[in-house]
């Protein structure tokens, strides 16, 4: 009888899934007489615009296989939208690739780009876990750093940026972005900038890595990650795209074609409508602005300090104690937040509070914080 082969369990190299660790706090918050106010996850709660839903339905009649590269209409709409909304210039259709949710794309990006064991992937010191997961799945070594000075003589293969940041809401200015691009190019490193919160600025202007004021009009070695989950409430559609260096896009496309990673045709049609219409984006931004004002005043009134949070959909909050103690404090009031240790060792004295709840739930949270 043959002995079963010992296999490597990929999951063993990954951290615990963060949200599994706050089940007790969630149960405590849910026991509140007024029900839970869940501000722990940045999931949209507002309706999908009828214009987008209509486009989804119209595209649903197509019976065949869609293409991995996406329809010409989708790629044209993406180029036009990032130019119109975010000041990106010099991008054409060859530099756009639709992806089935940007989390999936980021998680597989390091591997797909051929980066692996013995190579370094830089991730922000406080960051959404998927950048680190991307490195670990590829067998590469993640390194946390927020500045080129901190990296010293390191020559990474890939640098992940996230501005506006999740969880901190920090915005990287043009000078910072230019310095990172120059530093990476000197070392032959790829820069991947996750820009899913671009367009949700409150107290600072945010810029794409593809903005000519950052890239000097040269997208070589640069990829931006764009999502419609936040600005268009399309989280359930898994609607996003990569944009930037045509050579990198071509490499990713070649691998994704073999893997069958194809965005469904109806979602492509919905994306075209979403990218061509700015009115629904402006309306949604206003909803978040109003919720932010309500929650920001309440959090500060309860004695907390809000740091960064110049943009995005979160308040990065502290009162200089362990984040798990703060988690419990909020849970006792029926409010669930995300402890900062989800996002790396540098976040252990903060919590992340999401703005993605209905007006009624945001008001309920603000009222509970006044008691």
pLDDT tens across the length of the chain (371 residues) = 566 665 566 656 666 676 678 899 999 999 999 999 999 988 999 999 999 999 999 999 999 999 999 999 999 999 999 999 999 999 999 999 999 999 999 999 999 999 999 999 999 999 999 999 999 999 999 999 988 777 788 899 999 999 999 999 999 999 999 999 999 999 999 999 999 999 999 999 999 999 999 999 999 999 999 999 999 999 999 999 999 999 999 999 999 999 889 999 999 999 999 999 999 999 999 999 999 999 999 999 999 999 999 999 999 999 999 999 999 999 999 999 999 998 989 999 999 999 999 999 999 999 999 86
How is residue 150 written in tokens? 């901190």
**Longest C-alpha distance within the chain, in Å?**
69
Query: Which CATH number is associated with domain 50-276?
Result: 3.40.640.10
Residue 75: CA atoms inside 13 Å, Cβ hemisphere, count? 17
Which residues in the chain are classed under CATH 3.90.1150.10?
19-47+280-369
CATH of span 19-47+280-369: 3.90.1150.10
Q: Exposure pattern of 21-58 as b/e (b: 16+ CB <10 Å)?
A: ebeebbebbeebeeebbbbbebebeeebbeebeebbee
CATH 3.40.640.10 in the chain, residue ranges: 50-276
Model pTM score:
0.91
Contacts of 259 (CB under 8 A, 6+ apart): none
């Amino acid at each position: 009888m043959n002995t079963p082969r010992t296999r490597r369990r990929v999951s063993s190299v990954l951290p615990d899934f963060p949200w599994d660790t706050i089940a007790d706090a969630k149960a405590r918050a849910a026991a509140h007489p007024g029900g839970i106010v869940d501000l722990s996850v940045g999931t949209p709660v507002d309706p999908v615009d009828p214009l987008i839903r209509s486009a989804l339905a119209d595209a649903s009649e197509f019976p065949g296989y869609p293409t991995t590269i996406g329809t010409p209409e989708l790629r044209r709409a993406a180029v036009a939208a990032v130019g119109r909304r975010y000041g990106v210039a010099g991008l054409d259709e060859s530099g756009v690739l639709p992806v089935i949710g940007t989390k999936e794309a980021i998680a597989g990006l390091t591997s797909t780009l051929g980066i692996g064991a013995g190579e370094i992937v830089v991730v922000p010191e406080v960051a959404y876990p998927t950048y680190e997961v991307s490195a670990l799945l590829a067998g590469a070594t993640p390194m946390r750093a927020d500045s080129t000075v901190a990296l010293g003589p390191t020559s990474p293969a890939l640098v992940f940026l996230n501005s506006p940041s999740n969880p901190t809401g920090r915005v990287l200015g043009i000078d910072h972005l230019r310095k990172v691009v120059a530093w990476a190019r000197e070392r032959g490193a790829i820069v991947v900038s996750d820009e899913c919160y671009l367009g949700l600025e409150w107290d600072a202007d945010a810029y794409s890595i593809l903005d000519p004021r950052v890239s000097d009009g040269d997208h070589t070695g640069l990829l931006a990650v764009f999502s419609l989950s936040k600005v268009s409430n399309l989280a359930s559609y898994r609607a996003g795209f990569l944009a930037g260096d045509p050579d990198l896009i071509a490499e990713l496309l070649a691998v994704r074609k073999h893997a069958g990673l194809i965005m469904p045709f109806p979602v492509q049609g919905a994306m075209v409508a979403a990218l061509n219409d700015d009115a629904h984006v402006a309306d949604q931004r206003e909803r978040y602005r109003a919720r932010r004002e309500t929650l920001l005043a309440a959090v500060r009134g309860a004695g907390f300090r809000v740091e960064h949070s110049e943009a995005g959909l979160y308040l990065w909050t502290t009162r200089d104690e362990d984040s798990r103690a703060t988690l419990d404090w909020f849970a006792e009031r029926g409010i669930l937040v995300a402890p900062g240790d989800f996002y790396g060792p540098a976040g252990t004295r903060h919590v992340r509070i999401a703005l993605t709840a209905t007006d009624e739930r945001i008001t309920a949270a603000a009222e509970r914080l006044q008691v």
